[in-house]
Amino acid sequence: MSVIWRRARAGCWRWKPTRAGRNLARLRQEPATQPDIIDPVNGKTWAPSFAPDGTLAFLSNRSGNNAVWVMKPGAAPAVLFDAGLAPLFRLQFSPDGTLLSLVTAGVNMNIKILTADGGTVASFDRPSIGHGNPTWTPDGKAVLLLDIPTREVVRIAIDDPAKPIPFAGAPAWVTFGFHDNRIFAPRADKGGLWEFGKEPRLINAKYPRFFAPPVTFRGDDVLIPDFDATGGARILAQPLARGADRILGYAPGAEAQDRFFESKMAANPKTGEVIYVAAVQGDTNIDLLTLARH
């Protein structure tokens, strides 16, 4: 919420509080100006993540507190974990859907591992996590973080977080996504999505540099955010078997703010439906107040 006052010689322009929010929206098949909201609420919703069974988890402040919410197929959203006023971000299901990773910002970054029922499995602090992290390893037993002092991406087992294990030495890698024994990652030093290995291979040059959310897969495609496209934001599908990308759908309201408020995407593995975080605007009123001399 923001309040802006502008005064003029003959009067005073008053801009009443503007309520800006973020809601979850489904991808549109045709260009559009308005998002197709699936969960309209006052406030903000962010960081959507799907479990293999189609359960959707996300962060939201709709209740007045920052909380983890879960929406099971066919059910209404319900609170899983209430964090009060603590800032939350980077929610992500483990590959098997039994755990959730979550970050709370403070003096240090606290990484919390929750069960699908909201219980705490692990909680540990790190001085840094790196851009786009943490992400899960394929076995669901560890998360990957950037360790700033050593300039390495490290693997931290959730049952032994005090002993990080080096995973990748190059600080250029932003975040990692795993699919069919292959590893994909955007880079901090240049744009594009790359297949990680001894000889990194460019997969799609359109993937934006510094895009913070985790790499998102839909079947054998990887999703490419194209939020600054002429004509409006859209999402592309890039076959991992190579070939040209294609327009998967349009994402009105998606944000592409470099390194901060990018709209996270998520694909339902059961239905293939793609959702994203869309910016929505509440009422903004401008009133003219007449100044009188007494």
Cite the beta strand spans of 127-214 per DSSP E: 135-136, 142-147, 152-157, 165-168, 177-179, 182-186, 193-195, 201-204
Pairing of strands 120-126, 109-115: antiparallel
Residue 276: what pLDDT?
97
Residue 172: what pLDDT?
75
- Over the chain (294 residues), what is each successive 10-residue block's mean pLDDT? 32 39 96 95 95 97 96 95 93 97 87 94 89 91 88 91 85 85 89 90 92 92 95 96 96 78 90 96 45 43
Residue 17: what pLDDT?
37
Residue 171: what pLDDT?
60
CA–chain centroid gap for 259, Å, is 11
pTM, full prediction: 0.86
Pairing of strands 135-136, 88-93: unpaired
DSSP for 129-143, written as a single string: --TT--EE-TTSSEE
CB 123 within 8 A of CB 106: no
SS3 content of the chain, % helix, strand, coil (to 5): 0, 50, 50
Between the alpha carbon of residue 288 and those of residues 2, 5, 10, 11, 291, the distances in Å are: 18, 11, 10, 7, 10
CB 249 within 8 A of CB 29: yes
